[in-house]
Structure 1
């Protein structure tokens, strides 16, 4: 692989104009294709085969048309002062604004609080519903603006009016101001690392180009595959971060080779064959981890993994094909890496100050790192998962104020009513059986109300809703769903009525439980994958074990810290969270896949240099110091860049993007700066030469990937010998 990448790097540098023009044409062609086709992202996160999903499908058969229709916007109203919503003057103002909304050609119908009987007993709170002809995601901004204008007009008359619903929800944005903040910080870090603004721009430009092609391919693919809306955000996070890091690694190695006196094209080819090998292996590891999400059996996670893998693949191709061409184009603008006089006097086998400190006191650094991450991981034991809702929005958002008004007027359970599909014997006897069963249901714990049953087409099935006393993510609501299901067999025997629970709340509960059960299985797959891959790369048994344990530590600390902040509510204002909430239900699995791949990036960058030095010197401790000297700075810069990029996403307003950005920010921080720079060199120092032990029979069986680029240097030496 190293020889192939060496040749690709040399060819790319030689044919730089063709490579850059071809890349630009590809970007424009894919962009044109995607823009002409448009995007059609899936708004739902469903899992076929769940109990609630099967019930939902049966419900749609028995009650055709219930799930059809467009988006809906609710205007939640509250009368301020002594007047209630029943006051004639107030009623006239509300109906006047609703009448103006009905003139929108995209509006199917408008139901006032007086039509839908939503007024509370004291008449202070009610809501109007605007039904659109288009799906929620397709409701144009012009219709949303009209709803905003109506709400603002009511507010000017002393009536609180807040908006929510699928027809009002803003589209998920990519590349906004907050993401730009992360990129700017990354540029500052790169400029400092390279000592040049133009050189610092290079990784960002190449990463953006590769990501642009990836995002456009995902947009185009959304017309043919069920790609979830948030997949593009997750893919952008990972694709941008690894794209910058991979370019950084190759450019850093290129500057080192220039410093050794190699001619420019030769230095580019060597950097592509050595650092490029690490990039390809690390990137393939990330891709395999992301594609491993398919093994969970959750379609929307599989599509998220595929989308992320596409962006990472393009980041790899950009790094090993486009970056060499740009390096040649920039010519003398990129200077060789300077070697300090002190290092030159000490010789090539010396290490840096940090490497000496870690190898001098390995027990202390390992113990400090393990204790620190272990303590941070403790809250993980109490982690609860679920889906975010508008209660996690800022109180400055109308959606959050609408949520609070609904809670005030109708209770927390109004946000997540349970839908019950009841199968009876039919006829009058069936109605009597259902009345008795529904009466029993009203006595269940945490049940506030049960709606009148609605008969289906067959006359044997009925539909009604149960309003719990707690919100959709509350453990008491989950207990109620499980209790109804547990009692279903007894109800069927006693009352001859079969109860099945569905609705968005029940579906989300089932999805969460499915994901929680799948997490241990996925972790085992990832851990096994890590062990095998690292054993092949490093020709060692102990290095993979150390890497796996380090990954588990960083993962535990990440989930523990997320639980501490998001669920338990500590330091929420500092990180921009507005309320305590359960952890996003698919975050742990997504985090395992992404963090594993990125952690292995740093493991390869750092330990491959240690192995290269060990093979040259035979001194285990010295090789650790050399690895820290040559690759420690790259890992530090790469970690800071990823933290910067993910911080930009953490500052986003959308709760899902914010949570994923937060978890990845601290996941990378713990892994790059605690595990890789504290624990890894400390453990490698303690292991000594035994770190590189591998039975000879196993060494013969394993393929040689040559990540360090030994074959490349042999080719270079042969060329130099012929030239002399």
Structure 2
């Protein structure tokens, strides 16, 4: 046993970094010795055959064998001159019809983004599980037997005292709730053991994800409870999981504009300092918003409206309120990465040659393969999330894959070259007074042979 332990590191030492023959022999021989070591330690003697086999491998490997054709060095193809590549020709074709591609691409993005106007934030629940799961079957049985609202009851709670007047006021509140449209029934006030708190269980006529349930919660808080208890000093609160989900959705929805404005404003300022331009960062922000908006539209159509539900296995439901913010943060970072990579190359060519036309085509030809390859990898990876069972994971995967595919193709390969062609040298315009104020940030460092 001790001898085998000593021998194993010695054989593994044949794993040379550059000597292919000894590396192959070392891997195979060390594996056979490890098998023999395992057999010796466990008492399974048959595995000891690994020792003579390892010796055979080492001896046989010392004889010269015909070279393996798979080990031959593959000669790389000579790279084409940049202006003979397909990407350069694509850019010149787009630049020859800039209005067609700029307007057409924008219209496509706006059509894809149109469903976002119907976006409704909310949380999915067990009703969105697959129909064959026991969770979904139980959910459906409760809905069929006790009504859709039985899966998401509302709880009205209030601190009170044993005062008969306050208890009578709470009974009046229960009666008012029973008369409210959208309420299936409201229980009488239920006291705790010390009779200093009461709750009323309210069952809506609609399910937890229904927009009517959300309207009912707001109506109860604003128009039903305050008049029913006016002058009593009681301050009931509407609680329960459904009410909690509605509150979280409303809170995050109110923060989305602030979050978007902060990200867009910071990105605009940084791009302005990097590219010394007002037009380029403005276009970058607008086009990134269009590509992200298109991804939001696809997400709404599939996950909220239920399009292609049979293919994706998704039940229609509101969009989880945290997803738009997280998608925006991830997608804006990725799309801005492509934007900086592409535009910095165009800027470099423009500073070197002063040609606003060919600098666009040269920049696209130099970066398109990398952008397309990176985007293809991420589309495949994120697209695989759609195969998961979890609805939020599916949503993330489809949103990310869609946005990256749109951004790397429609936006970067068509809309960017066409708008750059339309504006020409005006793309790089910056007022002199602003040029003196903002810091000079260069992505690629100073250009040695910059055009004077």
- Other-structure match for 2:250: 513
Distance 1:449 1:494 in 2: 25
Distance 2:210 2:84 in 1: 63
Among 575, 584, 587, the residue aligned to 2:323: 587
Q: Could you report, residue by residue, the CA deviation over 1:574-633 in whole angstroms, capped at 9, with x for unpaired residues?
A: 2331x1111111111112211111110110111111111111111011011001111012
Distance 1:495 1:701 in 2: 62
TM-aligned CA deviation for residue 464 of structure 1 = 2.6
Alignment of 1:366-405 (within 5 A): 366-405=102-141
- Other-structure match for 1:701: 437
Alignment of 1:71-220 (within 5 A): none
TM-aligned CA deviation for residue 640 of structure 1 = 1.2
DSSP-derived class of the 2:230 partner: helix
Cα distance, 1:337–1:586 mapped onto 2, change above 3 Å: farther
Q: Is the 8 A contact 1:369 1:675 kept in 2?
A: yes
TM-aligned CA deviation for residue 437 of structure 1 = 1.8
Q: Could you report, residue by residue, the CA deviation over 1:495-537 in whole angstroms, capped at 9, with x for unpaired residues?
A: 6543210111101001101111111111111111121111111
Does residue 542 (structure 1) correspond to residue 282 (structure 2)? The answer is no
Runs of at least 5 residues in structure 2 that lack an aligned partner in the other structure: 1-16, 18-69
Among 79, 83, 91, the residue aligned to 1:339: 79
Q: Is the 8 A contact 1:433 1:495 kept in 2?
A: yes
Distance 2:194 2:73 in 1: 78
Among 146, 167, 171, the residue aligned to 1:435: 171
- Other-structure match for 2:228: 491
Does residue 688 (structure 1) correspond to residue 424 (structure 2)? The answer is yes
Q: Is the 8 A contact 1:434 1:495 kept in 2?
A: no
Cα distance, 1:334–1:430 mapped onto 2, change above 3 Å: farther
Alignment of 1:459-470 (within 5 A): 459-470=195-206
DSSP-derived class of the 1:620 partner: coil
Cα distance, 1:630–1:464 mapped onto 2, change above 3 Å: same
Alignment of 1:564-575 (within 5 A): 564-575=301-312
Alignment of 1:259-298 (within 5 A): none
Count, aligned residues: 380
Runs of at least 5 residues in structure 1 that lack an aligned partner in the other structure: 1-16, 18-196, 199-331, 715-724
- Other-structure match for 1:352: 88
TM-aligned CA deviation for residue 457 of structure 1 = 5.5
Q: Is the 8 A contact 2:158 2:198 kept in 1?
A: yes
Q: Is the 8 A contact 1:491 1:497 kept in 2?
A: no
Cα distance, 1:337–1:592 mapped onto 2, change above 3 Å: farther
DSSP-derived class of the 2:236 partner: strand
Does residue 527 (structure 1) correspond to residue 264 (structure 2)? The answer is yes
Cα distance, 1:347–1:511 mapped onto 2, change above 3 Å: closer
Cα distance, 1:664–1:351 mapped onto 2, change above 3 Å: closer
Distance 2:75 2:269 in 1: 39
Among 624, 628, 639, the residue aligned to 2:360: 624
TM-score if structure 1 supplies the norm length? Answer: 0.50
Alignment of 1:600-619 (within 5 A): 600-619=336-355
Q: Is the 8 A contact 1:437 1:497 kept in 2?
A: no
Q: Is the 8 A contact 1:427 1:460 kept in 2?
A: no
Among 326, 334, 338, the residue aligned to 1:598: 334
TM-aligned CA deviation for residue 659 of structure 1 = 1.0
Moved more, 699-708 or 640-649: 699-708
Q: Is the 8 A contact 1:569 1:580 kept in 2?
A: yes
TM-aligned CA deviation for residue 458 of structure 1 = 5.1
TM-aligned CA deviation for residue 698 of structure 1 = 2.6
Q: Could you report, residue by residue, the CA deviation over 1:421-463 in whole angstroms, capped at 9, with x for unpaired residues?
A: 1233533333222222211211111111223433236523202
Q: Is the 8 A contact 2:172 2:228 kept in 1?
A: no
Does residue 502 (structure 1) correspond to residue 244 (structure 2)? The answer is no
- Other-structure match for 1:481: 217
Q: Is the 8 A contact 2:87 2:368 kept in 1?
A: no
Does residue 552 (structure 1) correspond to residue 292 (structure 2)? The answer is no
TM-aligned CA deviation for residue 697 of structure 1 = 3.2
The structure with the larger Rg is 2
Among 428, 433, 447, the residue aligned to 2:183: 447
Distance 1:644 1:333 in 2: 30
Q: Is the 8 A contact 1:366 1:679 kept in 2?
A: yes
Does residue 634 (structure 1) correspond to residue 374 (structure 2)? The answer is no
TM-score if structure 2 supplies the norm length? Answer: 0.79
Does residue 644 (structure 1) correspond to residue 380 (structure 2)? The answer is yes
TM-aligned CA deviation for residue 477 of structure 1 = 0.6
Distance 1:353 1:681 in 2: 12
- Other-structure match for 2:22: none
Distance 1:432 1:697 in 2: 73
Does residue 562 (structure 1) correspond to residue 302 (structure 2)? The answer is no
